[in-house]
Structure 1
Amino acid sequence: MGAGLLLRLLLLAGAVSVPAAGPGGSHSYRSFYTGVSDPGPDLPAFTALSYVDDQQILHYDSETQRVEPRADWVQGAVDPDYWDRETETLQGWEQKFGVKLRTLQFRYNQTGGSHTLQLMYSCELGEDGSPGAYVKLGYDGRDFLSYDPKKRTWAAAPAETQVTQRRLNEYKAFLQSAATYMEETCIEWLRKYLQHGKAALQSKHPVAQVNDRLSSRDGLTTLSCWVHGFYPKDVAVVWLKNGEAQPQETSRSRVLPSGDGTYQIWATIKINPSRSHDYTCSVEHVSLGAALRVALDKSRVEPEFNLMLITGLVVTVVLVVAVSGSAVSFLRRQGVGYRAAPGSTTTPTPT
């Protein structure tokens, strides 16, 4: 599935778009098209990205000039000629975005600066299998036109786009094409992607590991909970003290990809090791029937004892080295050296 008739008519009609989060649903297909008037080394003039749920599956930009898959399983969902067709289509959209950017700058009397033209569309399947769809349009970060699939009409935000809105709503053939694409064609492609990506897109249970470490600066112990191996991305992690959630005291990292299609996150909490409390890491995820809870193992060696043990070992080593160094220094002052005799570990032998 590529730009399609819907996106072609959108740009021909003078509409623009900006990425936006869509309504909730169990599965979604989303595409983002972005054009910039002032490209740079890390900012191509045109970029197109497509996602199934939160997994990127397609990529195109004006530097590579080629549509590339971003997930291995996508290959099985399309025919071999798909990539050539999509590449040709998006090369055309790249040119149209350039033209539309210049047109919009002229319309808004903008003679310089950096400007952005973006388009985003999405079709979705809810948890009950009900379909949904929407299109968001904008320029320089401003929402000004969107498609309402229930009313099958276009709605404009600022007054400047009401002329475009009326033009789109009066174009009955366009409205029918938009409805057919978003309600049927896009949903068919989403179902096809879900079928071929079933293994990659299915929920995966999180694994949680708990450990602690002593902070030398403030004497507090930091409990760390590493949650990994889960999919999809959304997860809730909080530390419990004596069974009570501690959301304010829990510090969480960002949810990061693990590189194998799953995600990971860290949650930490600082505690006073001298006080006796039970601490448990609680994880909530769509793949779990109930919250996953992993308690800190209090049977392990306490941090204070670990610190004393390490300190004692260091002191012992220092004393041994100091004593040995004094003995060697004394022998050398006496002009006598020593080495272990062959086959012996105790008898010194003059050199």
Structure 2
Amino acid sequence: MELLVLLLLLGAAASPGGGSGPHVLRYFYTGVSEPGPGLPQFITVGYVDDQLFMDYDSERRSAEPRAEWMARSEGPQYWQRETQNLQGEQATFPPNLNTLRGRYNQSGGFHTLQVMYGCERREDGSTGGFFQYGYDGRDYISFDKDHETWVAADDAAQVSKRKWEADRSMAQRYRIYLEQECIEWLGKYVEYGKETLQRREPPRVQVSDRPSRDGLTTLSCRVHGFYPRNVAVVWLKKGVAMPQETNRRDVLPSGDGTYQILATIEIDPSSETDYTCCVEHPSLAEDLRVPWAPKSNVMLIVGVVIGVLVLVAAIAGAVVFLRKKNSGYKAAAAHEGSASSGSDQGSNTCVKA
């Protein structure tokens, strides 16, 4: 059987949302035609949700744990079995690379075979599975589990499709693995790492704005500090979602075990200012909404407050001044009266001063 592989962007997959939430188990195989320093001929990594839990490469030739919860949960027999399986997979990549070079009329150069396969347990308890294959970063062929058929991405992949579908047992084996064995292992791994895989940290949201082109304004919604990584962010206009206008960046790690994302929208502030950033996350009982307050309104409010404070301060100062002034007049009058009567108190007071 040809073993071909697809590289999946890690940010595209769902991650955990708690014990009953979604979880996904994914394996990535990558083989290259021209290995070099830091780039082994064959690499395998395994992820549960967004956490790397094992890896293997052709230079080390052994499967090893990469998560503490995995290292303490499985013993030497598990890792020996995984090592033997991956050594067998590694052996299939060089001949498969040669086969594909021939199908695409390539005589040499740097080429890659990639595979991504695994299974998922969704929020509603249903399950799914996937086998996707690729060559040189492009889709090659994928497995339609429900119909036990293969979907070819181009004419070259039609050759593999015909060959693999001629052996009906192959599709049946793939389906059984995805629906049974893979789901069972996913459940075990989630239980092993429940301290981290099932934790929830709610997002924090910051809304800001900046001038952009032609008098427009760009609103930014920075969502950060959340876990797991699956999150939905959209700008609302008068309470209505604006998914097409929302520019949503990739979810990125924050470096502290949590994630962050930025969502922006370009608006005309002269025509409408009722915009709100809406965030949905497994840690939240309901969506989190943070409205945008235009700077002009903010400055107006600040100006009014400052004006009121200045007025109060001025009134208070005037009152104090008048009180001191009145007290001064009385003291002067008393002093003049004492001086005209030849009082010793007046002379003594002046000497002491």
TM exceeds 0.5? Answer: yes
Instruction: Indicate yes or no: 2:90 matched with 1:94.
Output: yes
- The CA distance in 1 between the partners of 2:58 and 2:178, in whole Å, is 26
How far apart, CA to CA, are the structure 2 residues paired with 1:259 and 1:304?
38
1:49 aligns with 2:78: no
Distance 1:44 1:304, change over 3 A: farther
CA positional deviation for 1:264: 1.9
Distance 1:238 1:304, change over 3 A: same
Of 156, 162, 165 in structure 1, the residue corresponding to residue 161 of structure 2 is: 165
Report how many aligned residue pairs link the two structures.
295
Letter in 1 for 2:144: D
Secondary structure, counterpart of 2:91 in structure 1: helix
Change (3 A) 1:239 1:233: same
Which entry has the higher C-alpha Rg, 1 or 2? Answer: 2
Equivalent in 125, 138, 142 of residue 129 of structure 1: 125
Question: What are the within-5 Å matches in structure 2 for residues 135-284 of structure 1?
Answer: 135-202=131-198, 204-210=200-206, 226-237=222-233, 254-266=250-262, 281-284=277-280
Amino acid in structure 2 at the alignment position of 1:232: P
Q: Deviations over 1:249-274 (max 9, x none)?
A: 9776542213343212345789999x
Pair 1:266–1:172, CA change in 2 (3 A): closer
C-alpha deviation, 1:119, in angstroms:
1.7
| Distance (Å, rounded) in 1 between the aligned partners of 2:233 and 2:127 | 31
The question of whether the paired residues in 1 share the 8 Å contact of 2:103 and 2:156 is answered with: no
Tell me the residue number matched to 1:39.
35
Question: Does the residue aligned with 1:35 lie in a helix, a strand or coil?
Answer: strand
- 1:16 maps to 2:4: yes
Deviation at 1:290, TM superposition (A): 1.8
Aligned partner (choices 94, 101, 112) of residue 116 of structure 1 = 112
Distance 2:153 2:240 in 1: 46
Cα displacement string for residues 164-212 of structure 1 (whole angstroms, at most 9, x for unaligned residues): 4344333344344333322211111111112222332226242325476
Shift of the 74–260 alpha-carbon distance from structure 1 to 2, 3 Å rule, reads farther
Greater mean alpha carbon deviation, residues 172-181 or residues 190-199: 172-181
| Aligned CA distance change for structure 1 residues 198 and 224 (closer, same or farther; 3 Å) | same
| Distance in 1 separating the partners of 2:167 and 2:217 | 67
Q: More deviation in 97-106 or 186-195?
A: 97-106
Matched residues in 1 for 2:245 and 2:13: separation?
Answer: 31
Deviates more, 1:62-71 or 1:132-141: 62-71
The code of the aligned residue for 2:51 comes to Q
Q: 1:69 to 1:303 in 2, by over 3 A?
A: farther
Partner secondary structure for residue 182 of structure 1: helix
Counterpart for residue 322 of structure 1: none
When residues 263 and 106 of structure 1 are mapped into structure 2, their CA distance, relative to the original with a 3 A threshold, is: same
- Structure 1 runs not aligned, ≥5 long: 1-12, 307-351
Q: Distance in 1 between matches of 2:251 and 2:13?
A: 21
Q: Give 3-state SS (helix, strand or coil) of 2:161's partner.
A: helix
- 1:81 maps onto 2:77 in alignment: yes
Q: Which amino acid aligns with 2:173?
A: S
2: distance between equivalents of 1:110 and 1:272?
52
SS at match of 2:75: coil
In 2 relative to 1, CA 14–253 (structure 1 residues): closer, same or farther, beyond 3 Å? closer
d(CA) in 2 for partners of 1:208, 1:185: 38
Conserved? CA contact 1:204–1:231, under 8 Å: yes
TM-score scaled to structure 2, two decimals?
0.64
Structure number with the higher helix fraction is 2
Letter in 2 for 1:81: Q
Q: Tell me the CA shift for residue 241 of structure 1.
A: 7.8
* Secondary structure class of the residue paired with 1:92: helix
Cα distance, 1:282–1:45 mapped onto 2, change above 3 Å: same
| Percent identity for Structure 1 against Structure 2 | 51
- Scaled by the length of structure 1, what TM-score is found? 0.64
Letter in 2 for 1:16: L
**Residue in structure 1 matched with residue 286 of structure 2 by the alignment:** 290
Give the superposition deviation at 1:149.
Answer: 1.9
Tell me: CA distance 1:248–1:87, structure 2 relative to 1, closer, same or farther (3 Å): same
The alignment yields a C-alpha RMSD, in angstroms, of: 4.4
Q: What residue number does 1:318 align with?
A: none
